[in-house]
């Protein structure tokens, strides 16, 4: 089987979306699927091996389509890329197309309706937009209506849906009334890449780590506000984020009188991220009480913390509970509550035996969330969809 996998995010690249796309394509290739990964040209010189820790699967061909726009221009549009994708795929012999971009999926469904399309959905876009715009003006109402039409069209006309976060399939069925075949396939981790070195030196002061993007829904502010309540001289190391977000958090740290205890590393090379985890005494994932922060997320960093064998404190939200059992794989803290996070951190810093027990259990649990297991789920789902399609052709009167 051969699938086309187009996306407007350049690959390879260091953005979260680009990393997830590359890991997905590589795992699908290793699961025996031929993949044409189609993206714009990257603006970095990073290679797949620098991200994956190994060579890209030979079953994956990376194809870069130029769209005529320099990607650094502020008025950059993805429309030319969408057009180029449709033209390119129409000339190829793909069994199906796998897409995670809503606008691109709509374009492909309209222009190439005979080609089976599987849509990987990461959130209920319409519900997220409503949550982010509680008081909408007329323009935003029109934008919401257009988004809802697009989202429903894709969910209704896709051959199948791959839902990344937990609970999302039920939400989409309730919101849009669609019965499109669907499967849940959370994000994952490469266990070999996450292996800890044989010897890790002790830190002079405890290191608390948050690694990842600094979007507001990630809730990193909670960690900064918790730090004054953490006993001893523990430092909070924040890895990732844009300069603007780092400065916002630096101002917050100053106002909390902990500026000298917060270390900002900024973005790091993807291949070095596990080194930061292995050096950490406690890994943290705060999140927020929002749809995308508490329910509609499948946090790659949580899987990576677990696979790295680190003690973890994570916000007590439904998405986290779908992955870890409190007090078995990690400690949980009330979402958005700095004092609760500080108390959980203090418990871990004072109890090395508990840290070791949680770390071992988390590492074992991570084996259920590998990229290759995810790819095998997706592969079987697509096989079933295509087989059912052929069966339907041979059986008049039957429908999906």
Going from the N-terminus, what domains does the chain have, and what CATH number goes with each? 2-188+370-394 (3.40.50.2000), 207-366 (3.40.50.2000)
Position 200 scores a pLDDT of 77
Taking the model in full, what pTM does it have? 0.92
Based on the number of CB atoms within 10 Å of its own CB, is 395 exposed (0-12), middle (13-18) or buried (19 or more)? exposed
pLDDT of residue 81: 93
pLDDT at 392: 41
**Alpha carbon distances (Å) from 256 to 55, 92, 372:** 45, 58, 43
Cβ(239)–Cβ(268) below 8 Å: yes
Alpha-carbon gap, residue 130 to 133, rounded angstroms: 5
**How far apart, in whole angstroms, are the C-alpha atoms of residue 363 and residue 303?**
9
The pLDDT value recorded for residue 395 is 33
pLDDT for res 73: 53
Q: Which residues pair with 285 in a beta bridge?
A: 314
User: Could you give the CA distance from residue 323 to residue 320 in angstroms, rounded to a whole number?
Assistant: 5
Q: What is the pLDDT of residue 20?
A: 97
pLDDT at 389: 52
Q: How far apart are CA 94 and CA 118, in angstroms?
A: 13
Please tell me the predicted confidence (pLDDT) of residue 72.
Answer: 55
- Listed residue (206, 188, 224) closest to 22, CA to CA: 188
**What are the φ and ψ backbone dihedral angles of 189, each rounded to 5 degrees?**
-155, 150
pLDDT at 9: 95
Per-residue confidence of the chain (400 residues) as pLDDT tens digits? 999 999 999 999 999 999 999 999 999 999 999 999 999 999 889 999 999 999 999 999 999 998 655 555 555 688 899 999 999 999 988 999 999 999 999 999 999 999 999 999 999 999 999 999 999 999 999 999 999 999 999 999 999 999 999 999 999 999 999 999 999 999 999 999 999 886 778 889 999 999 999 989 899 999 999 999 999 899 999 999 999 999 999 999 999 999 999 999 999 999 899 999 999 999 999 999 988 888 999 999 999 999 999 999 999 999 999 999 999 999 999 999 999 999 999 999 999 999 999 999 999 999 999 999 999 999 999 999 998 554 443 333 322 2
pLDDT score, position 75: 53
């Amino acid at each position: 089987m051969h699938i086309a996998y187009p996306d407007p995010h350049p690959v390879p690249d260091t953005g979260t979306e680009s990393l997830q796309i590359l890991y997905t394509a590589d795992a699908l290739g290793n699961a025996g699927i031929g993949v044409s990964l189609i993206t714009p040209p990257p603006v970095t010189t990073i290679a797949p091996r620098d991200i994956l820790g190994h060579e890209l699967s030979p079953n994956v061909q990376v194809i870069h389509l130029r769209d005529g726009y320099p990607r650094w221009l502020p008025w950059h549009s993805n429309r030319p890329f969408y057009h180029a994708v449709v033209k390119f795929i129409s000339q190829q012999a793909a069994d199906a197309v796998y897409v995670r971009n809503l606008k691109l999926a709509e374009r492909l469904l309209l222009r190439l309706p005979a080609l089976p399309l599987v849509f990987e959905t990461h959130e209920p876009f319409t519900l997220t937009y409503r949550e982010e715009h509680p008081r909408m003006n007329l323009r935003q109402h029109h934008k919401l209506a257009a988004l809802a039409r697009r989202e429903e069209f894709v969910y209704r006309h896709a051959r199948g849906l791959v839902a990344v976060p937990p609970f999302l399939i039920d939400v989409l069925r309730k919101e849009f009334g669609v019965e499109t075949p669907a499967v849940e396939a959370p994000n994952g981790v490469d266990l070999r890449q996450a292996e800890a070195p044989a010897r890790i030196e002790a830190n002079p002061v405890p290191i608390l780590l948050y690694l990842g993007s600094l979007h507001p829904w990630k809730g990193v502010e909670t960690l900064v506000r918790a730090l004054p309540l953490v006993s001893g001289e523990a430092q909070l190391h924040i890895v990732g984020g844009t300069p603007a977000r780092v400065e916002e958090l630096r101002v917050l740290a100053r106002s909390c009188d902990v500026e000298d205890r917060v270390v900002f590393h900024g973005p790091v090379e993807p291949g070095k991220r596990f080194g930061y985890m292995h050096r950490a005494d406690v890994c943290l994932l705060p999140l927020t009480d929002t749809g995308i922060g508490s329910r509609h997320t499948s946090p790659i960093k949580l899987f990576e913390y677990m696979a790295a064998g680190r003690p973890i404190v994570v916000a007590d939200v439904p998405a986290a509970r779908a992955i870890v059992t409190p007090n078995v794989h990690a400690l949980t803290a009330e979402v958005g509550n700095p004092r609760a996070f500080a108390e959980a951190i203090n418990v871990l810093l004072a109890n090395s035996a508990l840290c070791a027990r949680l770390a071992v259990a988390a590492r074992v649990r991570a084996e259920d969330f590998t990229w290759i297991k995810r790819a095998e789920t997706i592969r079987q789902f697509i096989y079933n969809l295509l087989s059912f399609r052929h069966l339907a052709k041979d059986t008049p009167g039957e429908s999906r």
